[in-house]
Structure 1
């Protein structure tokens, strides 16, 4: 059992999908555009959550999905089960799961993205820190 704060505990995250595709039409002679990163955080709604049970949080990242002038695209999905302290009000717990939970999951994907991009013959991509506090992230 891992702890991210005194209010959240989590199990070891599980990577559910990691799709890395090299763009065969990419012109290696040209510079490529900066990475475009989209995210999707999914979890049960407050009405669906049993606060005495594990709460699943899923993070999906989409890298370079809308751009043709890139050497690769990546779609990755990861999840873990969180336990929330009963000391935390439910509305605060939802916000904490959405922000801290997603940030935690992103940190598990970061080395995988770096390793796969460096193995493709391009410079390694390091996923930046992302702000999950706004629901308009995707």
Structure 2
């Protein structure tokens, strides 16, 4: 198997915010997710990528079952001669997809421990 030239060097959860609406009445609701991506170049062969992933908003807490915000940070390595367009695609599409895989597991655990069924977030196409 050939090793990828775009590698995750390290990752960690920077922040988790969870607020439960104990007054929420069980009813069918549409899940509202949003995300923000921050990319910082460290040097010519590495960048840090921060993915902030939210389910609902704090302002919507009165009409939603909970609010979750998770910030996951990853440091990615790549060759210095990588084409800039390819690098931008890797950092804006591939990197958040990798970080989301960690966030998805956290969300499932948090919701399960809070008394709700474990919420499994679907995969997201960051190319759009």
State the TM-score bracket (shorter-chain normalisation).
0.7 to 0.9
Matching residue within 105, 109, 112 for 1:118: 112
How many Å separate the matches in 1 of 2:35 and 2:24? 24
Residue 43 of structure 2 corresponds to: 50
Contact persistence 2:35–2:52 (CA under 8 A): yes
How many Å separate the matches in 2 of 1:79 and 1:121? 28
Residue 80 of structure 1 corresponds to: 74
Give the TM-score of the pair, scaled to structure 2: 0.87
Residue 87 of structure 2 corresponds to: 93
Deviation (angstroms), 1:34: 2.3
Aligned length: 124
Residue 40 of structure 1 corresponds to: 36
Unaligned runs of 5+ in 1: none
1:63-74 residue pairs with structure 2 within 5 A?
63-65=55-57, 67=60, 68-74=62-68
Residue 18 of structure 1 corresponds to: 16
More helix by share: 2
Unaligned runs of 5+ in 2: none
Give the aligned CA root-mean-square deviation in angstroms.
1.8
More strand by share: 2
